[in-house]
Each structure stands twice: as structure tokens, then as C-alpha cells.
Structure 1
Amino acid sequence: MNKKVEEIQNWYRNEKELSNYSIMDIGGKLKNLAEKGLIWVLKDLKDTTESERIVINYYLDKYRAVQIYDNLHDLTPILSSNDEYASTPSKSSKHIIPLQNKQHTLEVRDVQQFNGYQKAKELEERIIELCKNFPSFEFYHIVNQIERSAESIKKRIQIGEQIYIREKFNQYSIAVGSAKETSAWLQVSLGQKYITQNQFEELDNMVNHVIGILTKNLSNIKEKEGKGLDLPSPYTPNVKNFGAYDNALLLVEMIYEVTRRREFWKEKDLVRKMRKQATSCVANIAEAHQLYIKKKFRFFNDSLKALRGLESSLETSVSKGITSKESLKEISELRISIRNVLSANMSNISSERAS
């Protein structure tokens, strides 16, 4: 594949992720690419939705006459999400695409030699080995989720080893979020006695070690190569100091305890749903503690969605006569408390973005 085509496709994937895959948000970016004569590079992209393909084909047809198929190597590089569009025409046409300042690029290193990658790889291997001893009914839930989040740390570090500073920050931010999510799943596993206290502390320390390495690297980049780029602070808050996180862990404990009752034995689908919704609340709260405000907001919102889903499932259990509303009073109060904290934080984030 032409490197320029691959670069534009990767840029577009990044824009999708930052916009939470909203077709309303990325529609303008697709039009921008179409006007610059580059929308055609997305036509055969496999990881697009039907809505995206409709928009891509629409703009391809509308701007077919201006599409640039030759001499792509003469175009200036695509930027990552937060960069401004350049105003200097490319050599091959009057159309423009984002320009990356050469002073704001990085040396690409061998990721296999990076200590952070090695530690993330070791963490993933340890977690996979540990999960072999989990109950079989958790293989499609906790096991799947913790292995996925651990893999994401390593994967995002690997993707982050590239020339563009902003994209490195973006990928490392996702890696940090995945690390915090991994820690949350470890705490859930400890709460259910799937792992021992010693196993938890050892693996949680490994998670924090990886976060520390990434943070140090990001701090160095921000202070040196990234001057003038208005990069976010590389320091993320400790989710364990966030009250809603502890309450969400307690909520998980309560849901597991309730769903172990004899009354729920014949309601396997409802049990799986309730446990998934409660643990999803914890995982999303943890993953929200990362560099970018937009992602923080999105994960808090996903946590709220999980809480609303849990409320619906609890109501179903009452309607079916499996349990009583009174017996769920403590759970409901805790759920409302978490919801209020998340809503307040999201309101503060919205105010910060508007100011």
C-alpha cells in the first residue's frame, strides 16, 4: 500500500476514535478530504460502517473531478486530530492537507527495546496465565475483558512508536486508560476471590510501573520536542482516590452477592447482564482517568449508560418476583450516589470545554 494512503487512513481512524465514532462529527472531516481530492483512499477501507460508506461514496461522487490519484508522495504529511490545516499548496496541486512541522516530529525507535513495551508484554503474559484458573463462567466476561485491556496497553505502545508527537500522545493516552482499566478488573477479580491479595498487589504494581514509564516519556516529549504544540498534561489522576470508583467496586460486590441467591439460579441471562453492567461501570470510570478531556467525558458517559442498564435489569428482577424492591434499596442508593458524582464531573468537564 502507498505510504501516503496508509497515513491518511490511519489519520482518519484516529479522528473517528476521538469523535466517538459519531458520523455527525466525522462528516465534516470526510467532506474536507473530498475537497482536497483524497476521499478515494477511504473507499475500500474495511473497518467502516454502512453510514460511513454512504457518506464516503456521496462525497466521492460529488468531488470526483478533483480527486488526486498520482504523486501522492509530494503531498505534505497528514496531521493527527488536533493540528491545524496548513495553508501552503502541495507541489502537485492547489489542494491542501494538514502540514506537520518538522520540528514537531520524533525519532522512531525499535519498540521491542523500549522498557515500557517490555513491561506491558510481561504484564499481558502474566495475566493470561493467571486467568487460566478463573471460573469457566467468567471466561466470556472478566477473563475476556482483562485480557483485552492488558493486550491494549502493549498494542497502543507499539502503535505509538511513530514520528508524530500528537499521535504518540493519543496512543499513550489510550494505553494509560487501558492500564487503569486492567487495574480495575484486577480489583474486581480480587473482590470475587479469583486472585489472592499478593497476586493483585504484584500485578497492580506492574500496571503502575507501565503507567509511570509512559508518563515519564510523555513528560520528556512535552518539555522538549513538543514545545508550542499545546499538548495535554501527561499526568493523570489516581483513580483510586476517586470516590465514585470505590463505590462502583462496592456496587459490583453487592450485585455478585445478590445474583448468587437461589432465586437467581434460573435467571442466567439476567445474572450475566447485571454483573456485566456493574463491572462495566467500574471499568469505564477507571479508563476515564487519562490525558484527553473528550475521552474522559466519553468514558464517564459510558459508565452512566451501564448504570442506567443496571437500573433496568434490577427493575426486571423485581417485576419477575425474583427479589423485592425493598431488598434492593441499598444497591439503588449506591447506584444513585455514583450517578450523581459522574454527572457532576461531566458537567464540570462541559463547563471547562466551553470556557
Structure 2
Amino acid sequence: MNEIVGQIQESYRAERIRVSYCVFDIGAYLKNLAEKGFIWILKEMKDLSDAEKILIDHYLIEYRANQIYDNLDDCLNMQTHKNNSAATSDKSTQSTTPTKEKQAKKQQHLEVRDVKQFIGYKKAKELETNIIELCKNFPSYEVDHIVNQIERSAGSIKERIEMGEQIYVGEKFNQYSIAIGSAKETSAWLQVSLGQKYITQVQFNELDNLTTQVVSILTKNLSNIKEKEGKGMDLPNPFTPNVKNFGAYTNALQLVDKIYEITDRREFRKEKDLVKIIRKRATSSVANLAEAHQLYIPKKFRFFNDSLKALDGLHSLLETSLIKGIIPEKELKEINELRISIRNVLSMKMKNISDEKAS
């Protein structure tokens, strides 16, 4: 992997020199790299200008879901094979080793189906349709928050399933992993909505059951692929734990309920902007915690870290509320105890992930 990271960084340095450091040309190159899923690799370079850093951060955020952190050799081989296939000569054919031929074939034996006939796609589409219809009855002040987030995550499930219908085994796992994470995030937003009584228990059960069905279908598909077409490939375990059995997740939902209860009081009525961002920080901790329950360890680590950042941002905002005298110190202490308990679990999980990667 280190060799591939170095190769991509050196290719970028060469391109940078070729275009004479022209920001527009570099920007186009960086966008292309982000779309392919490799822009994160440049973040480690020490010789970046401020303009480059800004562009890299911009495209990393815009194409966050595209980034590929595992099986880089497979993905690079895919693109190299595609770019060079037209220019392959007899000489290069003779020099190709049997191992490389085997690897190339190994990545290209999935049958591409009509995704619209796939039961997982149909279920995901049904889920998105039902959620969009349901969100029409949400309070208007949640349109820029819960409504946007749950519609986005539900739409991502269907989109990623469609993008996963291709010949490359590794990329199918990547797209399905994102879809699974989005399904778990959607379930989290449904639980937040239930907690605020925006939806009924019956509505929650119906939609949450749909998300569970989608995850089960995708998991079963990946399990079959790993057992058959994916033999010999370094593919992740397709089975993900149930986030509802994760204590930190349950505590995070309790934290959200507490935050909504407090910010709904008369003292906060003149602090609409503060209320909005406090609620966003609290719900973001839940959403990221849920989305972390997908296949690839680096993505799991990243979402756990985003949940931690949301919790820390929430603490700062609550202290601001204390300074303004709109939240009692005793209540802030109770919230912090809950927040810290979540933080401690996430920190421990992240340490375990780091230790596993190091071993």
C-alpha cells in the first residue's frame, strides 16, 4: 500500500510540473483524482502550497463518499488495465506474468445485471419514496436539518446500489459498504424522528424494517460473491454488527432527546441560530456513529472520529449557553456525563481499530 501511495504522490508531482503549477489545470487533475477515490493520499504530502491544500480539502469533502482506503492495488490495476488496453502491444503481452493475468481476470468476472430488477434496489427505492412522502409532514424548522439529512441518506442507498452494479469485485464491495452505512444512518434519523414524535411507532417499524431488509440483501450478495468470485482477494467481512446493540448509540439517542428537550424551552426562544447548531451537533454524533457500522475499517474509524468531533463541538456550544445564562450548570453537568460516556466508548473503539491496523 505504501508503494501505491508513493506512486500516486509522485504522479501528482510530475503533473504539477508539467502544467507549470497552473491552478486551473491542477484543479482539474485533483478533481479527477477525487472522483477516482485517491485524493486523500495527497493530504500527507509535505510540499503542498496553500492553494493546493485548499483545493484538496475542497474535493475531499465533495467526493468524500468516493474515497477508497482499502485494496488500492486492485483499484489501481483496474484503471491501469482500462487506460492501457488499447495500447497493449505484443511485447507487453509477452512480458505479462501469469500472476498479473490471473489478477486482471479475477477483477472482471462479475456479471452486470439490470439493477432495477434487483430486489435490493427495489427495496431501497421503496424506502426513499416512503421517506420523502413522510417528511412532508415534518415541522418546517426541520427541513434544513432532519428532513434534508434523512432524504440524503435514503437516496444514497439506492444510488450506491446502482453504482455497485459493475464487473469489479472490489468496487462492488466498496459501493455496497457505503450503501450499508447509509442504511444504518437512515435508521438513526428515523429513531431521532421517532424520539421527537415526528413519526409514529408504526411508521418507524415499517421503514426501519425496510432498511434492515436492504442491509440483509446486500450482505447476502457480498457473502456469495466473496465465497465464489472473490476467492483469493483481500475482501472485508460483509457482515456488520447491529448498531442498536451498541451502548454508545443508545446513549447518543438519549443525548439527542435531552438536547431537544432543553432547547425547546422558553430560555432558548431568542437563540434560534444557537438552537439549530446545538441540535445539529447532537444528531450528527448519532448519525456518524451509526454510519460507522459498515465494512471497511478506515471508514469506520473516520465516522467514529466525526462523531467525536460533533460531541466536542456540542460541549463548546453548551458552555456558551451556560455563559449566556440559558442553561443551568447542574443540567450541563448531567449532559456532559452522558456525552463523556459516549466519547469514552468511541475513543476505546478507535484505539482498538488503531491497534488492529498496527498489528
The unaligned stretches of length 5 or more in structure 1 are 1-14, 16-24, 59-79
Task: Compute the displacement of 1:83 (Å).
Answer: 2.4
Cα offsets for 1:39-81 (capped at 9, x unmatched): 99986368479997xx9xx9xxxxxxxxxxxxxxxxxxxxx84
d(CA) in 2 for partners of 1:36, 1:312:
43
* Match status 1:102 vs 2:105: yes
* Match status 1:44 vs 2:41: no
Note if contact 2:71-2:234 (Cα within 8 Å) is conserved in structure 1.
Answer: no
Cα offsets for 1:86-129 (capped at 9, x unmatched): 699973698x9x98521332111111111111110111000000
* Match status 1:309 vs 2:299: no
* Match status 1:253 vs 2:247: no
Give the TM-score, by structure 1 length: 0.78
Which of 175, 178, 191 aligns to 1:187? It is: 191
Letter of the structure 2 residue corresponding to residue 147 of structure 1: E
* Match status 1:214 vs 2:218: yes
Task: Compute the displacement of 1:322 (Å).
Answer: 1.3
d(CA) in 2 for partners of 1:46, 1:210:
34
Letter of the structure 2 residue corresponding to residue 290 of structure 1: Q
- Partner of 1:132, secondary structure, is helix
- Report the counterpart of residue 116 of structure 1 in structure 2: 120
Cα offsets for 1:184-232 (capped at 9, x unmatched): 0000000000000000000000000000100000000000000000211
d(CA) in 2 for partners of 1:117, 1:31:
40
- Report the counterpart of residue 10 of structure 2 in structure 1: 31
d(CA) in 1 for partners of 2:239, 2:136:
34
Letter of the structure 2 residue corresponding to residue 271 of structure 1: V
Task: Compute the displacement of 1:329 (Å).
Answer: 1.6
Letter of the structure 2 residue corresponding to residue 268 of structure 1: K
Give the TM-score, by structure 2 length: 0.78
Higher helix share: 2
- RMSD of Structure 2 on Structure 1 (CA): 3.3
Identical positions, percent: 65
- Partner of 2:88, secondary structure, is coil
d(CA) in 2 for partners of 1:167, 1:320:
50
Q: How does 1:72-87 map to 2 (within 5 A)?
A: 81-83=71-73
Note if contact 1:288-1:296 (Cα within 8 Å) is conserved in structure 2.
Answer: yes
Using the TM superposition, name which of 102-111 and 143-152 deviates more.
102-111
The unaligned stretches of length 5 or more in structure 2 are 20-24, 49-69
Cα offsets for 1:213-254 (capped at 9, x unmatched): 000000000000000002110000000000000000000000
Letter of the structure 2 residue corresponding to residue 91 of structure 1: T
Note if contact 1:82-1:166 (Cα within 8 Å) is conserved in structure 2.
Answer: no
* Match status 1:334 vs 2:344: no
Using the TM superposition, name which of 106-115 and 231-240 deviates more.
106-115
- Report the counterpart of residue 63 of structure 1 in structure 2: none
Q: How does 1:1-355 map to 2 (within 5 A)?
A: 29-32=8-11, 44=28, 47=31, 81-83=71-73, 91=88, 101-105=104-108, 106-355=110-359
- Report the counterpart of residue 6 of structure 1 in structure 2: none
Letter of the structure 1 residue corresponding to residue 88 of structure 2: K
d(CA) in 1 for partners of 2:199, 2:344:
31
User: 1:219/1:28 Cα in 2 relative to 1: closer, same or farther (>3 Å)?
Assistant: same
- Partner of 2:188, secondary structure, is helix
Note if contact 1:252-1:275 (Cα within 8 Å) is conserved in structure 2.
Answer: yes
d(CA) in 2 for partners of 1:193, 1:31:
54
Task: Compute the displacement of 1:267 (Å).
Answer: 0.3
